[in-house]
Amino acid sequence: MSTRIGFGVDSHRLEAARRLVIGGVEIEHDYGLIGHSDADVLIHAVIDAVLGAAGLGDIGQHFPDTDERYRDADSFVLLAATGEIVYSAGFGIVNIDSTVCCEQPKLAPHRDAMRLRIATALAIDADAVNVKFTTGEEIGFVGRGEGIAAFAIALLS
């Protein structure tokens, strides 16, 4: 058995009066992320990590923002499709580790729901998904509350 590691990163700007969806979970907040799809920064990072580990490109190749089919798309659905792509290529997902960087809102109360949503989309056990949170310590676009970033790594076998 061989193992492969992939890395994913994503960031989106915040805007007033938009839905905030992170890790497949809608979070009550005055600001939401701007993007072609639902702008789920965490799921987008996970998609790139999984595709990268399999050597199958990136989110933009499979779900381009130039394709109207993906306008306002539910990233949970895109992640499930990514799982199917990776499994069809003969890979299994061992685990996912991720970090979301944002100032507000506090995301820790949503950790278990995010882990479960990601695991469900990828048809893996929730224990194989880790989600962590940090702030920008008032530095950069995250620290100024202008946007949210996420990082993920995936181990495939």
Q: What is the pLDDT of residues 10-58, one digit of tens each?
A: 999 999 989 999 999 999 999 999 999 999 999 999 999 999 999 999 9
pTM for this structure? 0.96
Task: Provide the pairing of β-strand 4-16 with 31-33.
Answer: antiparallel
Give the model's pLDDT for residue 72.
86
For every residue of 49-109, DSSP letters joined together read HHHHHHT---HHHHS-TT-GGGTT--HHHHHHHHHHHHHHTT--EEEEEEEEE-SSS--GG
Instruction: Say how far apart CA 133 and CA 144 lie, in whole Å.
Output: 16
In 95-148, where does DSSP find H-type helix?
111-122, 140-143
Residue 145 in contact with residue 103, Cβ under 8 Å?
Answer: yes
Residue 36 in contact with residue 63, Cβ under 8 Å?
Answer: no
pLDDT over threshold 70, residue 5: yes
Q: What is the pLDDT of residues 63-115, one digit of tens each?
A: 998 988 989 899 999 999 999 999 999 999 999 999 999 999 999 999 999 99
In order of their start, the domains of the chain are 4-156 (3.30.1330.50)
